[in-house]
């Protein structure tokens, strides 16, 4: 299932097995919202650009939203896996925070990102963050089945609003200091996003978040440790908000 061995040099702090959830933005879109020729080319170069050409062995799962540009990006990058499984999951969608809605309700220029509910016509931004967290936590549940000494990779092709809003609520301290905004230039780059590592250890599970950034044209990342309990709580908040009619 998209697995590779954990190298001896990586096996720090008694890591027995690892689940890596790779969340990335769809590739370049045109005015019609579909992938451009450049977008298809960049998606085809994904493994070299982000993973340095290192491809996990075996089959693997690639989740995507119901939106065509996400689906097509997933189809293209899945060609790097020997027997991929593509899975549609609307929780990865940007709806209802679409470009059209952002323009209609006058919440452009990052207003939608900075305010918790930038428009009374749209649900709180926490809803999108919670949806993303719920996907990640469900995938992480498979960590118990990863053999010792191995790492499983799962990919999720999403959009700017859920990616950025997840980072906002998962990294509140960094967000308050605007470090994330500065690092990402306000928005994540195409085919970049973040990676969550769930590491099974003898004394429990550790969670690490690597946020992908592009600085001076070079791919890099910064790392934060996350609380498993807080991530689980974030995943559950969306359901609670819907039950309350928010």
Q: Give the ranges where the chain is alpha helix by DSSP (H).
A: 37-44, 46-51, 68-77, 99-104, 111-114, 126-140, 160-170, 172-176, 179-184, 228-243
Q: Which residues contact 182 (CB under 8 A, 6 or more apart)?
A: none
Q: Which residues pair with 212 in a beta bridge?
A: 221
Q: Rounded to whole angstroms, how far apart are CA atoms 188 and 214?
A: 9
Tell me what pLDDT residue 125 has.
96
Q: Rounded to whole angstroms, how far apart are CA atoms 220 and 81?
A: 24
| CATH 2.120.10.80 describes domain 3-243 | no
DSSP state of 145: G
pLDDT averaged per 10 residues in sequence order, the chain, 246 residues: 55 80 94 94 82 64 97 92 90 96 93 93 95 96 91 93 95 82 73 92 92 72 91 84 53
Q: Rounded to whole angstroms, how far apart are CA atoms 10 and 148?
A: 14
Tell me what pLDDT residue 190 has.
82
The whole model's pTM is what? Answer: 0.90
Q: How far is CA 57 from each of CA 73, 151, 170, 205, rounded to the nearest angstrom?
A: 20, 11, 30, 24
Tell me what pLDDT residue 90 has.
96
The owner of tokens 């609307």 is 90
Tell me what pLDDT residue 51 has.
67
Q: Rounded to whole angstroms, how far apart are CA atoms 77 and 69?
A: 12
């Amino acid at each position: 299932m998209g697995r590779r061995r954990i190298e001896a040099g990586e096996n720090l702090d008694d890591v027995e097995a690892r689940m890596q959830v790779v969340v990335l933005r769809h590739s370049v879109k045109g005015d019609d919202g579909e992938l451009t020729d450049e977008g298809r080319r960049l998606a085809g170069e994904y493994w070299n650009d982000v993973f340095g050409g290192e491809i996990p062995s075996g089959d693997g799962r690639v989740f995507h939203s119901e939106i065509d540009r996400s689906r097509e990006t997933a189809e293209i990058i899945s060609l790097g896996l020997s027997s991929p499984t593509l899975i549609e999951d609307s929780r990865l969608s940007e709806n209802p925070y679409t470009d059209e809605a952002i323009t209609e309700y006058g919440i452009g220029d990052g207003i939608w990102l900075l305010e918790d509910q930038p428009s009374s016509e749209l649900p709180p931004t926490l809803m999108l963050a919670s949806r993303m967290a719920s996907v990640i936590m469900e995938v992480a549940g498979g960590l118990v089945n990863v053999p010792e000494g191995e790492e499983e990779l799962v990919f999720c092709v999403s959009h700017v609003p859920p990616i950025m809003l997840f980072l906002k609520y998962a990294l509140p301290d960094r967000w308050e200091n605007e470090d994330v905004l500065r690092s990402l230039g306000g928005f994540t780059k195409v085919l970049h996003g973040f990676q969550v590592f769930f590491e099974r250890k003898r004394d429990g599970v550790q969670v690490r978040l690597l946020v992908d950034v592009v600085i001076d044209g070079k791919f890099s990342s910064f790392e934060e440790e996350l609380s498993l309990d807080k991530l689980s709580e974030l995943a559950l908040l969306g359901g609670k908000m819907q039950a309350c009619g928010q």
